[in-house]
Amino acid sequence: MRSALCIGLTASLLAGCLSHTYRGSPLPLECTDFAVQVQRGLGSGVVCSGDYFGRCWWSFFEDPQLNQLIELALTCHPDIKMAEARIALAYDEALERRSKLFPHLFGFASATREKVSEFGSRVQGAKDLFTEVSFSLGSSLFELDLWKRNQSLYRAALCETAAEIAEYAEVELLLSKAIASVYVALQFDLERLAITQKRLQTRKQVYNLLYQQFKNGIIDEFHLYSTDIEVQVLRDEVYKLEAVVGINRHALAALVGNISCCSEGIEVMPAAMFEKPVPLPRSLPIDLLARRPDVVASQWQIEAACFDVRAAKAEFFPRIDLVGSVGNESFKLGQLLTGKTLTVLGEALSVLPIFTAGKLRAKLGIAHERVEIAVERYNQTVLLAVEQVSDALTTLQSSHARVEALQNSIQDAMQLYSLTEQRFTQGVANRIAVLNALEDLLVQRDLEKRADLDRFLSAIDLMRALGGGYDVKEL
C-alpha cells in the first residue's frame, strides 16, 4: 500500500523533470539494425503484427498453473519485497530533501531557580531567591535557495524514486520470466522423461527377444552386447532427466517463494497451448524505449545525475541563511504572556566560498562524470535491449523451423511404424523390427520436444525483451 502511494505521489511531482541536455550522446534506436530484424521476423510468419502484451504477459500461454505460480511469486518473493522497500526508501529520502525547502520551527521553554549570594551581582530590585521563566518560538538556519541547490537535490531524489519504480517493474519482469522459463523446461523435461522411460522399456524388450535368439543359437553375442549397451545408455539418460526434473522443481520453488506448491503437484500441460504466433507490436521499434523498464530506469538515472550537476554548480554562489525567534522572558510567571516581556531576534548570515582548495570544482567534476556514466549505462541498456529482441526473434524462427521439420520426420516415423506392424501381422517382419520402428518414432518425438522447448523459451525471451507489457505511461 505504501509503495503504491509512493508511486502515485512521485509521478505527480515529476512533471517537467525531463528537460536536460547532456555532454554525452544517448544512443538513438535508429542507429541499430533493429527495424530490419523486426521486419524479418514479421516476414517469417513466426510472429504477427499486434499490440503490446498486458502486464500479465504470461497469460499468453493459457496455462492456469503458470498463472498461479507467477501471481503467488509476485506477492511473496523476497526480491519483490526488497524492491518495494527500495521505492519507499527513495521516496523518504526525497521527502527529507524536500524539507530543506521550508523553514523549520521549534519551540523552546525554560525555567531557572536561582539564589544569589549577599556579595554576588544581582538585578536591581530582585530578591535573593528568584525564578526566571522563558518561552520562545524560533527557526534553525534556513537557507534561501536563491540558486536552487536544495530544489535540484530534491528533484534528483524524485528522479531516483522514479528509477526505483522502474526497477521494481524490472524485478517483476525478470522474476516472472525466470518462473516461466523454469516451468516450461520442467514441463518438457517431464514429457522427455516419459518418452525416455518408454524407450528404455522398448530396448529391454528387444534385449529379451535377442537373448532368447542367443539361447537358441540364432545370433551370436555381438548383437546381445550391442543392445545391452543401448539399454545402459538409456538408463543413464533416465537418471539424468530425473535429476534435471528434481532440480527444476527446486528452482521453481525458490523462485515462487513457496516450497510446498512445487513439490510433486505440478501436472504436465499439453504443448498445444502455444500454437499461435507471438504478436509483435506495431509501434516497434520507436516505442520500445518506453516499454523496457530497465531503459526507463536508466533515463531517470541520467536525469538525477543532471540535477546533481545543478546542485554542484549552485555551491559556487553565496549562501544566505536566516535565523529568527520570538518569545517572552520574565522573572514572574504571571507576566510571561504579557507584551512587556516580548523579545524578537532576527539574523541573516551570508557565506561566500573564496578558497576551498579545489573542493567545489572536484564536486562539480564528479557530478559531470556521473552524468557521463549514466548516459553510457543507458546506451549499454539500449544496445542490450536491441540484442535481446534480435536474438529472441532469430532463435524463435530457427526453433520453429526445426519443429516443423521434426514434425514431418515424426509423420514418416509413424508411417514406418504402422507399415512394420502390418508386416508383422502378415508374418513378413518379426517383433524386433516393430520395436525398432517404435524406437525410431520415440527418438523423433524426443528431438521434437527439445526443439519445441527452444521455441517456448525463445518466445518467453522475446516477451521479456519487449518489456513484458510495461508502459512508462502507467506512472
Q: Quote the mean pLDDT of the chain.
A: 81
- pTM for this prediction: 0.82
Question: What CA–CA distance (Å, rounded) separates 388 from 2?
Answer: 34
Close Cβ partners of 84 (under 8 Å, ≥ 6 residues apart): 2, 3, 168
Q: Thinking of the domain 2-102+146-317+362-474, which architecture would CATH place it in?
A: Up-down Bundle (1.20)
Whether the pLDDT of residue 119 is over 60: the answer is: no
Task: Retrieve residue 122's grid coordinates.
Answer: 544581582
**Size (the chain), residues:** 475
Residue 51 and residue 282 in contact, taking contact as beta carbons nearer than 8 Å = yes
The residues facing 360 across adjacent strands are none
Question: What CA–CA distance (Å, rounded) separates 443 from 426?
Answer: 26
Q: Start-end ranges of CATH 1.20.1600.10 in the chain?
A: 2-102+146-317+362-474
Question: What CA–CA distance (Å, rounded) separates 159 from 433?
Answer: 71
The residues facing 47 across adjacent strands are 278
For residue range 43-52, list pLDDT tens digits in order.
Answer: 666 677 767 6
pLDDT confidence tier of residue 396, bands split at 50, 70 and 90: confident
Question: What CA–CA distance (Å, rounded) separates 39 from 237?
Answer: 41
Distances (CA, A) of 428 to 174, 407, 419: 58, 28, 11
Whether the pLDDT of residue 130 is over 60: the answer is: no
Query: Could you tell me how far CA 37 lies from the centroid of its own chain?
Result: 25
Cβ neighbour number for residue 117 with a 10 Å cutoff: 8
Burial of 343 (C-beta count, 10 Å sphere; 0-12/13-18/19+): exposed
Whether the pLDDT of residue 308 is over 80: the answer is: yes
Question: What CA–CA distance (Å, rounded) separates 393 from 42?
Answer: 9
> Any idea which fold 105-139+319-352 has?
Outer membrane efflux proteins (OEP) (2.20.200)
Whether the pLDDT of residue 138 is over 50: the answer is: yes
Question: What CA–CA distance (Å, rounded) separates 108 from 323?
Answer: 14
Q: Start-end ranges of CATH 2.20.200 in the chain?
A: 105-139+319-352
Close Cβ partners of 280 (under 8 Å, ≥ 6 residues apart): 38, 41, 42, 47, 48, 49, 50, 466
For residue range 158-178, list pLDDT tens digits in order.
Answer: 999 999 999 999 999 999 999
Close Cβ partners of 229 (under 8 Å, ≥ 6 residues apart): none
For residue range 204-238, list pLDDT tens digits in order.
Answer: 999 999 999 888 888 888 888 889 999 999 999 99
Question: Percent of the chain scored above 70 by pLDDT?
Answer: 72
For residue range 425-443, list pLDDT tens digits in order.
Answer: 998 889 999 999 999 999 9
pLDDT confidence tier of residue 13, bands split at 50, 70 and 90: very low
